[in-house]
Structure 1
Amino acid sequence: MTNDLLGRHRAVLPDWLALYYEEPLEITHGEGRHVWDAQGNRYLDFFGGILTTMTAHALPEVTKAVSEQAGRIIHSSTLYLNRPMVELAERIAQLSGIPDARVFFTTSGTEANDTALLLATAYRRSNTILAMRNSYHGRSFSAVGITGNSGWSPTSLSPLQTLYVHGGVRTRGPFASLSDDAYIAACVDDLKDLLGHTRPPAALIAEPVQGVGGFTTPPDGLYAAFREVLHERGILWIADEVQTGWGRTGEHFWGWQAHGQSGPPDIMTFAKGIGNGMSIGGVVARSEIMNCLDSNSISTFGGTQITMAAGLANLTYLLEHDLQGNARRVGGLLIERLRAVAAQVPAVREVRGRGLMIGIEITKPGTDEADPRTAAAVLEAAREGGLLIGKGGGHNTSSLRVAPPLSLNVAEAEEGAAILENALRSIP
């Protein structure tokens, strides 16, 4: 049956629509931190539909909210007052830390970033954007145009002029050998030099932790230092929290807060986990930025009642059960366990991350040369052992990505770490 479905998939869907595994997997149902495939095999899920099943599979509170809302009305568009949308916007505005915040809902992180770019360029009257090397911001025409990862940017054509800044990958590049303070100073000097050679940009867009880039992070405080330079010149800061938001990093509710010495971003985007699988994205911005557009607009499916009901139930569950704290505690244990394993596996260059957002970079032993073939082999071996993980990274996709639902318990973390240890030790 799976082979038949694979043939049908290939006959009607694009060749560039990526599938994991040599024998692609059909997931039929899930519960908690586990999913099952069409053959009845059970897996511990450490990727959550690309960080989207944030709390748990088939979470009763979310399932009930969706079912009850579906029994009333599923959709009406933004042309009518929408109580669930207003209620979720109120909660997100308050949690964002952005003063006098306005919230606009979309259906994906791509659309959220696209909207943020529209707002920033309209507000600043500039089509120049600063972006980070190794970044990823979505698959729309504008988003691929600012993505700093060639594996995810299929065209150089763009409505925007993009300038790429150092700093997103602490352990690679010309400043890797410096101390954290010296690294930040060098990146700031590079930013200042870049700004001296170009027309004033609209904004810097940055992921606090680079997601598709392999869960890479700069030193804490880098974006605060950047913000001081940008603020002096009136340049906006867009924090792309599509993967880092909602407490996943454990230490903070938003990724930007690790760099928050100079205050919140001007614009923040979100998506992924807030809907626990339902299609929710959005933008939060100061009112004068959000309201700068001088034409009418709507969102047909952004903010639709059924997704907002899911988001409200999911956010309530996350806050009431302190899943941020759980990500900090269980994620910390998992990172240390994986680092102990990696120290004995020459092909692992680095285990990095924070909370339940962990990257394992695979290289050819004794070098910094990416080894995507071995990374793919570990992905396969983990599946054979009953564990689903992701992959990503610059330098030819040689990083493994570990991002379980935030309700992961210690026993499940130990189980997943043991499977990953066996998978890593299987490297020839």
Structure 2
Amino acid sequence: MSDLYGRHKAVLPDWLALYYEDPLEITHGEGRYVWDANGKQYLDFFGGILTTMTAHALPEITKAVSEQAGRIIHSSTLYLNRPMVELAERIAQLSGIPDARVFFTTSGTEANDTALLLATSYRRSNQILAMRNSYHGRSFSTVGITGNKGWSPTSLSPLQTLYVHGGVRTRGPYADLSDDEFIAACVADLEDLLGHVRPPAALIAEPIQGVGGFTSPPDGLYAAFREVLAARGILWIADEVQTGWGRTGEHFWGWQAHAENGPPDIVTFAKGIGNGMSIGGVVARAEIMNCLDSNSISTFGGTQITMAAGLANLTYLLEHDLQGNARRVGGLLIERLRGVAAQLPGVREVRGRGLMIGVELVKPGTDTADPETAAAVLEAAREEGLLLGKGGGHNTSALRIAPPLSLTVAEAEEGAAILERALRSCVQ
């Protein structure tokens, strides 16, 4: 056990998860690569949990942060803040929400907390609809709506949560139906549920479930849900903490795969917009955002230094069409991995879109999750210089692949080759 690991265990909580039997200290990075304390190089296919969105040590961002730090780092929201206004203007325009207002937080958890506060206050209801297998954060309120028991340590909550079918296409009672039949069954289930309860405040849903193992419904499910919800005045909150900013390749926001009836009422975001700086936020129609009847502030949300990073990062992403790169390179990577999976009975599914890819592992010939093999693949990939994530509602048996959106074709092939060897060495 390293000295740093021993010190970690002595002062930090036991429930603070670490990857690997011999935990890794990352000391620096550049582009799509990082290095550990021993000088070993790794291709980063997880980006600090989908957070290093453009690249490590991107000069445009480090320059913006350095210059802003030389002026002022922080003043709180009690004072006018030019970088915050500028980033809010850009996000409001990109959100697709009419008459949008933006509130900045420090994390996705806090963003979802804020969305829940807005929805329950606006609707005067403490009931929330959430998806099975979902994850929305680690705070008391977001744990209370999370539909993944591995990340929800308590059932106590200030909210009454009702869980809806649909977030996982290939498991559950509707898995064998066609896409159209699947959507129809999920909508019928939602309508039946709403017939038994007082009208909830909102449905919160990830377009692609992140911690749940990059699972998703057929395109159009949330549009169909929206019709049912809107008829009853129930809000739709799209949790875009992991799916936003072009990661899915086909769309800038994940909700746009379900866009027949327009944008959500509320969108939450975080992770990639800061490229590692602590930025989260909420976008909502003015009437919803302004429904609170008491004062509020954010001490650390929207600080000048994080907003400078967000502006530089968003500019780089748009000017270099990283969404298009995610679509092209991610499409190649998914097909490459599906070719490998077809030869391995222990790989149940390769799914996802863009540079948000899940590889679900099971015991061969069954649908039984195989978290031990997933952990072994993670270790084997690390040995060869590739960092992956893992997740899933079935005992973390899905590998998660989410590199920076600037990933090149050559780097995608390098990572795929390492992962193929790791899978072949560990999976039956």
> What is the TM-score normalised by the length of structure 2?
0.99
Provide the residue aligned with 1:256 in structure 2: 255
> Which residue identity lines up with residue 34 of structure 2 in the other structure?
V
What amino acid is the match of 1:101?
A
> What's the secondary structure of 1:350's corresponding residue?
strand
Deviation at 1:311, TM superposition (A): 0.1
Q: Secondary structure at 2:233's aligned position in 1?
A: coil
In structure 2, distance between residues paired with 1:65 and 1:226: 42
- Letter aligned with residue 245 of structure 1: G
Q: In the alignment, residue 28 of structure 2 is paired with which amino acid?
A: H
Paired position in structure 2 for 1:202? 201
Q: Which residue of 2 aligns with 1:48?
A: 47
Secondary structure of the corresponding residue to residue 317 of structure 2? helix
Offset at 1:161? 0.1
Question: What code does the residue aligned with 1:71 have?
Answer: G
Residue 236 of structure 1 pairs with residue 250 of structure 2: no
Partner of 1:312: 311
For residues 43 and 158 of structure 2, what CA distance do their matches in structure 1 show?
42
SS of 1:262's partner is: coil
Confirm or deny that 1:409 pairs with 2:405.
no
SS at match of 2:70: helix
Distance 1:345 1:389 in 2: 19
- What is the aligned partner in structure 1 of residue 191 from structure 2? 192
Matched ranges for 1:38-117 at <5 A: 38-117=37-116
User: What SS does the corresponding residue of 2:395 show, helix, strand or coil?
Assistant: helix
Partner of 1:119: 118
Provide the residue aligned with 1:355 in structure 2: 354
The one-letter code of the counterpart of 1:226 is F
Specify the code of the residue in structure 1 equivalent to 2:394: H
* Equivalent-residue separation in structure 1 for 2:320 and 2:41 (angstroms): 26
Name the structure 2 match of 1:175. Answer: 174
Residue correspondence of structure 1 range 305-344 to structure 2 within 5 A = 305-344=304-343
Is 1:282 aligned to residue 281 of structure 2? yes
Question: How far, CA to CA, are the matches of 2:389 and 2:405 in structure 1?
Answer: 16
Residue 152 (structure 2) aligns with = 153
The alpha-carbon deviation at position 192 of structure 1 amounts to 0.1
Partner amino acid for 1:341? V
User: Secondary structure of 2:260's match?
Assistant: helix
CA distance in structure 2 between the partners assigned to 1:424 and 1:346 by the alignment: 11
CA distance in 1, matches of 2:310, 2:424: 40
Letter matched to residue 116 of structure 2: L
**Which letter maps to 1:92?**
I
How far does residue 261 in structure 1 lie from its aligned partner after superposition?
Answer: 0.4
Q: How far did residue 345 of structure 1 move? A: 1.1
**Separation (CA, whole Å) in 1 of partners of 2:174 and 2:365:** 20
Distance 1:33 1:94 in 2: 29
Deviations 1:298-347 (A, max 9, x none): 00000000000000000000000000000000000000000000111111
Q: Which runs of 5+ in 2 are unaligned?
A: none
Say which SS state the counterpart of residue 245 (structure 2) adopts: coil
Query: What is the DSSP-based 3-state SS (H/G/I as helix, E as strand, rest coil) of the residue aligned with 2:147?
Result: coil
Distance 1:311 1:113 in 2: 19
- SS where residue 285 of structure 1 aligns? strand
Separation in 2 of the partners of 1:136 and 1:62? 29
Aligned to 2:127: 128
Distance 1:366 1:130 in 2: 35
- 1:334-375: CA deviation from partner (whole Å, max 9, x where unpaired): 000000001111110000000000000000001100010000
Q: Does 1:394 align with 2:393?
A: yes
Q: Deviations over 1:17-62 (max 9, x none)?
A: 0000000000000000000000000000000000000000000000
Deviation at 1:377, TM superposition (A): 0.3
How many angstroms apart in 2 are the aligned matches of 1:200 and 1:319?
A: 40
Alignment size in residue pairs: 427
Please state whether the residue corresponding to 2:359 is helix, strand or coil: strand
Q: Which residue of 2 aligns with 1:22?
A: 21
| Cα deviation 1:196-224 (Å, max 9, x = unaligned) | 00111000000000000000010000000
CA distance, structure 1, for counterparts of residue 61 and residue 394 of structure 2: 38
* 1:204 partner SS: strand
Q: Which amino acid aligns with 1:21?
A: Y
Report the Cα distance in structure 1 between the residues aligned to 2:32 and 2:276, rounded to whole angstroms: 13
1:297 matches 2:296: yes
Residue of structure 1 in register with 2:384 after alignment: 385
Distance in 2 (alpha carbons) for counterparts of 1:23 and 1:342: 28
Cα distance, 1:85 vs structure 2: 0.0
**Paired residue secondary structure (2:352):** strand
Distance (Å, rounded) in 2 between the aligned partners of 1:383 and 1:328: 26
Amino acid at match of 1:148: G
Which amino acid letter does the alignment assign opposite residue 110 of structure 2? E
In the TM superposition, what whole-angstrom CA distance separates every residue of 1:116-148 from its partner, at most 9, and x where no partner exists?
Answer: 000000000000000000000000000000000
CA distance in 1, matches of 2:126, 2:205: 17
Listed as ranges, the gaps of 5+ residues in structure 1 are none
